[in-house]
Structures are given as structure tokens and as C-alpha cells.
Amino acid sequence: MPLKPRSFMPVAALLLAASLSACSPIVDVDAAPDAVNPACASVMIALPEQVAGNELRETNSQATAAWGDPSQVVLRCGVQIPGPTTDACASVNDVDWIIQESTENDIWTATTYGRDPAVEVLFDPNQVASSTVLVDLGGAVSQVEQTEQCLSLNDTVDLPSEG
């Protein structure tokens, strides 16, 4: 007796349930204060599927993203816009980033400078290279117009010349 198409339904349902249970859990990330900023949508749409070789995962908050299992890179759009600072600033592919190293753990925070809304990226430089992370995310955060640039102290203060 030939099998009827309906007899495949329970098998298909079991396979679907098994494949869904093998997925990584949703990453719990707190939304940034300005996550509803419309410019964050442009950033989120442009995010790459991979950062530093880690696959994009689902998060539970608006304007957030995570890569890797366990998470190696976490992004939040709409964080507080940084003002003038003495923290290290790196310009990577025309995106200025304020880099802060945690003294309590190995997590670094890179926050875009001169863009509204600001984007924050957290990562462990012992697990993923900071240069790779910032290059991989540069295209997405470039969706927000840059209105200011990082300057060094030498750019802002007239130092007396030696002579």
C-alpha cells in the first residue's frame, strides 16, 4: 500500500522540532537607551552575518546583535554619545572608535565617536582580534553619518616648538 502524503507530517514535524532544539539560545542583551533611534535600523540591516569568523545570533532586544556561541562579540546601537575623552581613539576604515579596556575583566568596549546614535561593541581581545571586529563592523556603523572626528591632543593644543 503506497504511503499517503499525510503520513509524512509527523516525521516532518519531528525533524523540524529536532532542528529547532539544536539552535543556539537567544542572547540576552540589554537595549541601549536610544535603541529606538531610526538610524539604528539602518545599522542593523547592514550588519554582517559573520564577525571575526563568528556567526550572527538572535538577540532579545531592539538594536542589538551578537556573534559566536558563546557570544564573542556583542553590539548595541543607541548608547550614550561619547564626548571629549582622553581614552584611546582608533580610526578604522573611516570610522572613529573610542577604545576602553576593562580593568576588572578582559572585555574591551569600542564605541563609535562622532556619530548619532553611537554604537557600542564589546569583545574579548584574547578571543577575537580588535582590528578584525572593527573592520567587519565598519560598513554597518558607517550607515550613521559621522559629524565629528577623534583628535589627538597635538591636534587641539598649540604646543610651543622646541628651539
Tell me the pLDDT tens digit for each residue of 66-111: 999 999 999 999 999 999 989 999 999 999 999 999 878 889 999 9
- Answer for the pair 76, 119: CB distance below 8 angstroms, yes or no: yes
Give the pLDDT band of residue 17 (cuts 50, 70, 90). very low
Which residues share a beta bridge with 84? Answer: none
Whether the model clears a pTM of 0.85, i.e. scores above it, the answer is: no
Of residues 151 and 84, more confidently modeled:
84
